[in-house]
Structure 1
Amino acid sequence: MTDLRLVVFDMDGTLIDSQDVIVQSVETAFAQMGRPAPSRPKILSIVGLSLPQALAQLAPDMNGADLDEAVARYKHSFVETRKVSGGTPSPLYAGAMEALNLLAAQDETLMGVATGKSRRGLDHVFAGHNLRHYFQTAQTADDHPSKPHPAMLHQTLRDTGVDAHQAVMVGDTTYDIEMGVAAGFRTVGVSWGYHAPEKLRNAGADIVIDDFAALNPALENFWG
């Protein structure tokens, strides 16, 4: 049995505040296809799912070639929106960098990412915020079924050699929490993201925190 422990973070809505570019990209894709755009709350409710599954939830009548077109238009809009901002990635939430530094200083703690982003999108965030060195494992939608399937988290365990009972999933959506529960992880919900705290609790979150300063005490309580 290993003494190592693992903290896996979601990206959008947990570490970075990407809501504006996501909403704009969905609105643009739907407008280009002559479809009415979903409401902002509806769009944000599907953040965390892999892109085809997310768009299919927003427009259940869309499938086949139409869904493929929507995915392509969303990706194009996302890249173009990023270009307008000078290529700057979405901002980190307040306290995120301090929390990562605190965990990185703990010899026994490893970190990972499990995100609905593509590998290209995650690499952009890593490069823009100089985050890559914090994470020993990084899983994306390119290589796994969509959340809440636990495949991403199973891979983080294989990559790090950590036992599931020593691992924690941190995320802002029910998809993150359900994925963590399915993988045998402890789960921390964050209240500043895209799903309401009560939904996170109902999905099985062991705790919901209101700021990053509360993360390390919650983790130590799990492992104490």
Structure 2
Amino acid sequence: MQNVVADQLVADKLVADKFVADKVSLVIFDWDGTVMDSVGRIVSSMRAAALKSELLVPSEFAVKQIIGLSLDPAFDILFPQSNQMQRQQLLAHYRDHYTLYDTTPTPLFAGVELVLQQLKDSNVKLAVATGKQRRGLTRMFAETGLEKYFDTSRCADEAQSKPHPDMLQQILRELDLPAEQAVMVGDTSHDMKMAQAIAMPRVGVTHGVHGRDVLSQFAPKAIIDTMPELLQVI
């Protein structure tokens, strides 16, 4: 009886793997709030940087809304009256606080590496499209050991800011795939908007910045609460 059950589990996994491989050729992940639980540190670091730069400190809610954007449009929203010198100081203080002083934990969300491994085993290509700059993502790859799973990535200093679809378009060109064979996975409206702009299927994740009420406005293929659920919906 145990052998029958074991055989059935293997068969079920093969069917699931084939389903994923047949339906999707590429999965593109946002990083902050999707792969890594880093929202808390981003918020506290930005607010600390504003205080040190003698700028009006934005609310936690306001900072959360810019997560995923490149720094210039984020600063436009949070500090519209700031000048270039103040922005340079703010950026330096933010980087120092995030990398050196802030001790807010930034773990991977539960099940992330298992999901990445299963997708790779199913011959699905993987990519990252993030509001981080390249050196930030490189640091995160080194800390987490996840770089080995990804075929390519695009960062905020290599493309137009989300929600413009430039990041996704660059990735598609590099991997020679059409948008309909890819899925964008993200936790913010910025992720959903950029995928929607090029008719790329998308999956919203609620464990980051935005909840179902916001994510559902962009007609995602699915909305999930945990990363392992991704394997059930793509």
TM-score clears 0.5 = yes
For residue 28 of structure 1, the aligned residue among 48, 62, 79 is: 48
Unaligned runs of 5+ residues in structure 1 are 220-224
- Offset, 1:105: 0.6
CA distance in 1, matches of 2:86, 2:183: 38
What is the match of residue 131 of structure 2? Answer: 116
What is the match of residue 148 of structure 1? Answer: 163
Tell me the SS of whatever aligns to 1:156.
helix
- Offset, 1:154: 0.6
What is the match of residue 196 of structure 1? Answer: 211
TM-score between both structures, scaled by the size of structure 2 = 0.85
1:58-69 map, 5 Å: 58-69=78-89
For residue 100 of structure 2, the aligned residue among 74, 80, 85 is: 80
Larger relative helix fraction: 2
Unaligned runs of 5+ residues in structure 2 are 1-21
- Offset, 1:25: 1.4
Give percent identity, aligned residues only. 39
What is the match of residue 194 of structure 2? Answer: 179
1:25–1:74 contact (8 Å) kept in structure 2: yes
CA distance in 1, matches of 2:149, 2:198: 22
For residue 90 of structure 1, the aligned residue among 101, 106, 118 is: 106
1:8–1:169 contact (8 Å) kept in structure 2: yes
Coordinate RMSD, CA, aligned: 1.8
What is the match of residue 212 of structure 1? Answer: 227
Q: Which structure has the larger Rg over C-alpha atoms?
A: 2
Larger CA deviation: 180-189 vs 196-205:
196-205
2:39–2:208 contact (8 Å) kept in structure 1: no
Larger CA deviation: 177-186 vs 198-207:
198-207
CA distance in 1, matches of 2:51, 2:228: 40
What is the match of residue 102 of structure 1? Answer: 118
Question: When the two structures are aligned, how many residues end up with a matched partner?
Answer: 212
